[in-house]
Amino acid sequence: MIYLSEFYLPNAEDEEDFLYCEKRTCFNTFYPFMIFPELELEELVFEPVTIFYGGNGTGKSTLLNIIAETLKLKRNAVFNKSNFFNEYIKMCESVTVNKIPSESRIITSDDVFDYILDIRNLNNGIDFKREELFEEYTDSKYSDFKFKTMADLDRLKVVNKSRSKSQSKYVKSELMANVREYSNGESAFKYFTEKITENALYLLDEPENSLSPKRQIELTQYIQDSARFFNCQFIISTHSPFLLSMKNAKIYNLDEAPVTTSRWTELENVQTYFDFFEKRRDEFK
What's the CA dihedral at 266, 272, 273, 277 to 10 degrees? 120
Task: For each of the domains in the chain, give its residue range(s) and CATH number, in order of start.
Answer: 4-108+195-256 (3.40.50), 112-181 (no CATH)
Residues with Cβ within 8 Å of residue 71, at least 6 apart in sequence = 4, 94, 100, 104, 201
For the stretch 87-142, pLDDT in tens is 899 999 999 988 999 999 999 888 887 776 666 554 444 454 555 655 665 666 55
**For the whole model, what pTM was predicted?**
0.77
For the stretch 140-192, pLDDT in tens is 655 666 666 666 667 666 666 656 555 555 555 555 444 444 555 577 788 88
179 neighbors 122 (Cβ within 8 angstroms): yes
Omega within 30 of 0 (cis) for the link into 10: no
Output the pLDDT for position 144.
65
Residues with Cβ within 8 Å of residue 113, at least 6 apart in sequence = 209, 210
For the stretch 104-116, pLDDT in tens is 999 988 888 777 6
Tell me the percentage of the chain whose pLDDT exceeds 90.
49
Mean pLDDT across the chain: 82
Residues with Cβ within 8 Å of residue 174, at least 6 apart in sequence = 133
Output the pLDDT for position 56.
83
